[in-house]
Structure 1
Amino acid sequence: MSRPPITPEQTAAGIALDPHTLERVIPESRRPDGTLRKQLKVRPGFTPQEDVRRFRGTKQAQMDAHALPKGHIIGWAPPPTSTAASGSNGTKPLSKSAKKNAKRKEKREKDKDVVPDNWDDEDEGSSNTTPGSKDSKDGEAVAPDTDAGSKEAGAAGLASELEKLSVK
């Protein structure tokens, strides 16, 4: 047998079902000054005003069941969501502009993955540098710092970084 819930479901008036006695009760609660209110029993068959539903006739209930959602515009239908529009299935050939847009999208995704080796170069106005590419300012090749074991390569890289810095 399962255990009763810690916080039993309550009606709008706060009436819950006591899990031990299976009677309808208003559970004990704490007042703002810290004292406890006693648990109150609710007579069988009593329904407080907060829990009384508004009467709806059969036709009114049927109208409510078939009502459109709030804010819906009559006659408007959302555009169809199909995979044919994206061109992934290849049944419909892409137009010239759609091909251009697809190429642009691929290029953006490819450029998004490129991380520059030196973030300081970007501040000075040069483009993203990749290992082995020419630096636009000095015309020298930028060496990657991949040779951790070689002290000469590290010293040369450090010397070139110091040359780039200028004290104003």
Structure 2
Amino acid sequence: MPAQAKETPTSSGIVLDETTGQRHVPSSIRADGSKRREIRIRPGYQPPEDVKVYRNPSATAWQTRGKGGVPGAEGLSANASNQSNVSAASNKNAKRREAKKKAKAEEQPEQDGKKTEAAGVTEGKAEGAEQALDPDAEKEKKARNLKKKLRQARDLREKKDKGESLLPEQLAKIIKINELIRELDSLGFDADGETKSSV
């Protein structure tokens, strides 16, 4: 009788017989001395003890933190191959950004070795500066904001006159009514927010 080559048992005790390819739980002896018979396992059956527990990637990464090398080091060679596959559109956009930066640098030359104040502005604000409105439009925009604040302050003053209690911030807005009117006046608008007619 040839010796059967057996694999190490799984956590549930199932052993694979390599000669026949069948899986079974081998026979064993109980504590009272009686013999437990061998149990055959149907093909494809996976007992719950052998099913691997699902571990989400975050938990796995948390457990293995500090064990790896430099983060992203293995991806360096992959990035080099991906660089060659960059789309034509992204190349075009990159060239456009470079040209825009060069144009800005030419428009705003350095004066006395110091960059102008506008050159130090962040990129988002720089784009907004390109689309800057003419001074009249800026005045109107500021006047609209001041009119809105003035209207809110007057509404709060009416509430106060009716006897409603107001928060300290609301009282501060009421106090600033005259200041808002002065600012509107300096922009060329009257107390109602209408443009002053030049007489």
TM-score band by shorter chain is 0.3 to 0.5
Q: Could you state the TM-score of these two structures normalised by the residue count of structure 2?
A: 0.28
Higher CA-based Rg: 2
As a proportion of its length, which structure holds more helix? 2
Q: Could you state the TM-score of these two structures normalised by the residue count of structure 1?
A: 0.33
